[in-house]
Amino acid sequence: AEVINVIGGGLAGVEAAWKAAERGHKVRLFEMRPKKNTPAHKTDKLAELVCSNTLGGIDITTPRGLLKKEMELLGSLIIDAAKRTSVPAGGALAVDREKFADYITEKIENHPNIEVIREEVKEIPEEGITVVATGPLTSNEFSKYLREYLGQEELSFYDAISPIVYADTIDYSKCFWGSRWGKGGDDYLNCPMTEEEYDRFYRALMEAEKVPLKDFEKACYFEGCMPIEEMAERGKETLLFGPLRPVGLIDPRTGKQPYAVVQLRKENREGTLLNLVGFQTKLKYPEQKRVFRLIPGLENAEFARYGSIHRNTFIKSPVLLKRTLQLKKNPRVLFAGQITGVEGYPESAATGIIAGLNASRLLEGKEPVYPPETTMVGALLKYITSADPKHFQPMNANFGLLPPPERRIKGKLNRRKYLSERALRDMEKWLKGLS
């Protein structure tokens, strides 16, 4: 019988291996640790959490709460492990990281269908179906190989993420739509600033608290992902020639060019998410909220994704992948985890389940599948495979990815409740249809 190779024993890799093995397929799971380490992992365990020990909110009206509930329906090993090894953390699912990784390592190593091979993989194996789940710190040699295999421009080594806000939390009376020099139609929402407003914003930005860079992240700035606060440190005028430049933009309410302008661009086709153009940042999350809410129109903005800059390895999924996570140019190769351009522990694990399911279906002679876009898993898959490839940056679970409710629902919590219930219903229906 044919084998399924899973490369990388992290959050996505163990889910893919588990799903395929539970469906009765032989799996070879390759993990390079402890022979070769990453700059962030500290142990030789599978599914090691490299930083915080939380998998996000529990309540299904939070994006990650909904995602985790869907993962549970999909038979997630990560969620099973997290529930068994949880520690109290208010409304969040946090775990004892040692016990969490121990539980998973034991389950995987003792599965009769899984062979764990402690080796660095340097190219995609010729034999069998392969799931690539080597994560944000994919080994150098394999990264180099992937660049050759996929195309030089199709693999990034850093992310430079600008914050994204929910479109329905913006005060449009203070902004206007339009592009610089009138070119490109109404592609951008412009938030104009007076000199006083800019001064206030600039001071807040200079004083805000930053997340220190890790050593292995420092090379990033040479790759042209300068954080906005770093740019601001070069002088008060610098931003006015950079991301906040007003030239070519006339405020229709005054007929004049504003002193400074922040531009927001639609992040998805539905226009439910707007991206602060050029605002990649290392500010701490609460500081982003405080400082960026000083931008006119964003006083009450809710953030769907905060800005960040990381060492990260990810492929240009909108060009390379089908929504089933298969590589377009070789459908017997699938990708899963952070390397596909999702961001976060549960997000990475969730794509691992789908990759494991589809690798199995390929062996079973069935069509690969994906959950409906009304589910959080389905919406993430849709996003990473249909986002604008020019601006593609990793994405976490959030409600702006889901199609809006079919009817008007008053109140944020009611809307989220509706979206979550619809998602879970659709996921259950979809799963029933598969079996």
> Is 31 near ligand FAD (CB under 6 A)?
yes
With CB under 6 A as the contact rule, the residue among 23, 28, 33, 68 that binds ligand FAD is 33
Residues 76 and 85: their CA atoms lie apart, in Å, by: 15
Which of 17, 32, 66, 160 lies at the binding interface for ligand FAD (CB under 6 A)? 32
**Residues counted in the chain:** 435
Listing DSSP states for 145-204 in one string gives HHHHHH-GGGEEEEEEEPPEEEGGGS-GGG-EE--GGGTTTT-EEEEEE-HHHHHHHHHH
Indicate which single residue of 13, 227, 258, 371 sits in contact with ligand FAD (rule: CB under 6 A): 13
- Whether the link from the prior residue into 63 is cis, omega within 30° of 0, is no
**Residue from 108, 121, 161, 325 in contact with ligand FAD (CB under 6 A):** 121
SS (H, E, C) 298-324: CCCCCEEECCEEEEEEEECHHHHECCC
117 binds ligand FAD (CB under 6 A): no
CB of 322 to ligand FAD, least distance (A): 19
Distance between CA atoms of residues 270 and 201, nearest Å: 30
Q: For the CB of residue 135, give the shortest distance to ligand FAD in the complex, in Å.
A: 2
Residue carrying the six token digits 């990815």: 401
Nearer to ligand FAD by Cβ, of 119 and 207: the residue is 119
Q: Which is nearer to ligand FAD, 11 or 167 (CB)?
A: 11
Nearer of residues 36 and 234 to ligand FAD, judged by Cβ: 36
Site residues for ligand FAD, 299-328, by CB under 6 A, read 310
Would you say 160 or 261 has its CB closer to ligand FAD? 160
Residues 389-428 that bind ligand FAD (CB under 6 A): none
What is the dihedral sign for C-alpha 94, 216, 139, 116? negative
| Strand segments (E) across 308-370 | 308-315, 326-327, 330-335
| Residue reference for tokens 């998410």 | 273
* Near ligand FAD in 130-149, by CB under 6 A: 133-139, 142
Choosing from 130, 348, 360, 375, the residue that interacts with ligand FAD (CB under 6 A) is 348
Report, in Å, the least distance between residue 364 CB and ligand FAD.
24
Which CB atom, from 121 or from 264, has the smaller least distance to ligand FAD? 121
Closest residue to ligand FAD using C-beta atoms: 10
Among the listed residues 33, 43, 37, the one whose alpha carbon sits nearest the alpha carbon of residue 100: 43
Question: Binding to ligand FAD by residue 77, rule CB under 6 A?
Answer: no
Question: Widest CA span of the chain, in angstroms?
Answer: 72
Buried b (16+ CB within 10 A) or exposed e, 379-394: bbbbbbbebeeeebbb
Dist. CA 231–CA 133, nearest whole Å: 34
- From residue 385, give the alpha-carbon distance in Å to each of 68, 321, 378, 381, 382: 21, 6, 11, 6, 5
Name residues contacting ligand FAD, limited to 186-245 (CB under 6 A). none
For helices 345-363 and 376-386, the axis angle rounded to 10 degrees is 80
Q: Is 8 near ligand FAD (CB under 6 A)?
A: yes
Which of 38, 85, 130, 190: binder of ligand FAD (CB under 6 A)?
Answer: 38
Q: Tell me the sheet residues that pair with 192.
A: 261
CB of 142 to ligand FAD, least distance (A): 3
Q: Nearer Cβ to ligand FAD, position 10 or 368? A: 10
- Output 91 or 182, the one with its CB closest to ligand FAD: 91
Which of these segments, 99-107, 128-136, 241-249, 398-406, binds ligand FAD (CB under 6 A)? Answer: 128-136
Could you tell me the smallest distance in angstroms from the CB atom of residue 209 to ligand FAD?
Answer: 18
Let me know the angle formed at the C-alpha of 34 by 32 and 39, rounded to the nearest 5 degrees: 80
Q: Which residue has the tokens 């016990």?
A: 99
- Considering the complex, what minimum distance in angstroms separates the CB of residue 74 from ligand FAD? 16
Out of 4, 5, 6, 12, name the contact with ligand FAD by CB under 6 A. 12
Q: What is the rounded distance in angstroms from the CA atom of residue 209 to the CA atom of residue 207? A: 7
Nearer of residues 198 and 399 to ligand FAD, judged by Cβ: 399
Using CB under 6 A, which of 3, 22, 26, 50 touches ligand FAD?
A: 50
Cβ 53 to ligand FAD shortest distance, Å: 8
Instruction: Report how far residue 350's alpha carbon sits from residue 377's, in angstroms, rounded to the nearest whole number.
Output: 7
Q: In the complex, which residues of this chain contact ligand FAD (CB under 6 A)? A: 7-13, 30-33, 38, 40-41, 50-52, 120-121, 133-139, 142, 310, 337-339, 344-345, 348
